[in-house]
Amino acid sequence: MNILLNGASGRVGRLIESLVDSDPSMTVVGRGRSDEPLQGCDGAEVVIDFSSPESALHALSVADEHGLPFVSGTTGFDEAQRAALDDAADRIAICHEANFSIGVHLLDSLVREAAQRLGEDFDVEILETHHRNKVDAPSGTALGLARTVAAARGLEVGAAVDPGDRGGRRGPGRIGIQALRGGDVVGEHEVHFLGPGERLTLAHRASDRSLFARGALRAARWILGRSPGRYGLADVLDD
């Protein structure tokens, strides 16, 4: 598998490069770094991106131009940038995930079931913690978990999610998200269901960032030869 790696100088990008170096079936044939655009498309079969939204969109345009599948773990996209992903998915296969951890995807399934079974008598609060250098807050994973709760309860996401502690009383049906930043925390997510006389907490803690790199490489192998469209890690794991 010949990989075009965008965000090669980042935390996950360096781990992907290390894993590729130890596996003779994979090669990085081109790179994009924080200080230079993606280059080296000759022979590439897939683009893997862990960068910033702006850099990711440039990598997406390269993938689209050359007809390459696109795997991205970049977070912090705004509505227009998400629309660009949807548009490109008409022409190429795209797997975009805020979190390439298998455990997080199991957490998402458990959160969906809990939201459905517990019902609206249980309030939902989400707490996420990351290292001091993470730029976006709340995390893409926390927002994804909030969307899962909203969908399970038939709520409109924009009206239900409260991304930040604004103080005061939380209105009925609102889903709160709190973000902590500090130290070298890889990533922690807790979903609290708070009901009358009891509380259920579902949590995931990542201790090794290489799990994201392994998940992205697994998705990259899976997406080779796929038809254009939007895919997620659930598609990869279910196949």
For strands 36-39 and 46-49, give the pairing: unpaired
Task: Return the structure tokens found at 119.
Answer: 């019902």
Given the residues 58, 105, 131, 134, the one annotated as active site: 134
Given the residues 96, 105, 130, 204, the one annotated as active site: 130
How far apart (Å, rounded) are the C-alpha atoms in residues 27 and 5? 10
**Fold of the domain built from segment(s) 2-96+209-238:** Rossmann fold (3.40.50)
Just give the CATH number of 102-206.
3.30.360.10
Domain boundaries of the chain, sorted by first residue: 2-96+209-238, 102-206
Per-residue pLDDT of the chain (239 residues; tens, 9 = 90+): 999 999 999 999 999 999 999 999 999 999 998 778 887 788 999 999 999 999 999 999 999 999 999 999 998 899 999 999 999 999 999 999 988 998 999 999 999 999 999 988 999 999 999 999 998 889 989 999 999 999 999 988 777 777 665 556 777 788 989 999 999 999 999 999 999 999 999 999 999 989 999 999 999 999 999 999 999 998 998 87
What letters, b where the CB count within 10 A reaches 16 and e where it falls short, cover 218-227? bbbebbeeee
134 is catalytic: yes
